[in-house]
Amino acid sequence: MTTIDEYQDVMDIRDIIDLIEEIEADPESDEKEEAAAMRAFIEQFRGYGGDHEWENSWFPVTFIRDSYFKDYAEELAEEIGAIPKESAWPACHIDWEAAARALQMDYTSGEFNGVTYWAR
């Protein structure tokens, strides 16, 4: 069984949904509270668009932990070619905290077990 908890830097909604459905399908499961918490978490993002349809609504696929968002912004910049992966300059002079805050403006936040996650 996949583990979903507030310690993960990045979570995928498909893993969360699979786990919710697995728990909810088992009448003997003692993890109903965990499923309810996961469901409440993703419900915060219902209707904000995204790339995954579930229960007649669209949801974002990826959730990024707030404390990891700066690293996520840097990795995203490399992936989309905004900065070369091997480049020391100018990457070593970029204020990644500021870049992450600017990127977050395009994201929506939600709470999971007291931890903020961001999704788009």
Please give the single-letter amino acid code of residue 7: Y
Residue 96 is encoded by which pair of tokens? 């990644």
Task: Name residues whose C-beta falls within 8 Å of residue 73's C-beta, 6 or more positions apart in sequence.
Answer: 96, 99, 100, 103
Residue 82 lies in a domain: yes
- pLDDT tens across 34-84, in order? 999 999 999 999 988 789 999 999 999 999 999 999 999 999 998 998 887
* pTM, entire model: 0.88
Q: Which helix (H) or strand (E) holds 41?
A: helix 32-43
Q: What end-to-end distance do the CA atoms of the chain give, in Å? A: 26
The count of structural domains within the chain is 1
Q: What is the mean pLDDT of the chain?
A: 92
Residue 3 lies in a domain: no
Residue 97 is encoded by which pair of tokens? 């905290």
**Rg of the chain (C-alpha set):** 17
Range of the domain at 105: 10-119
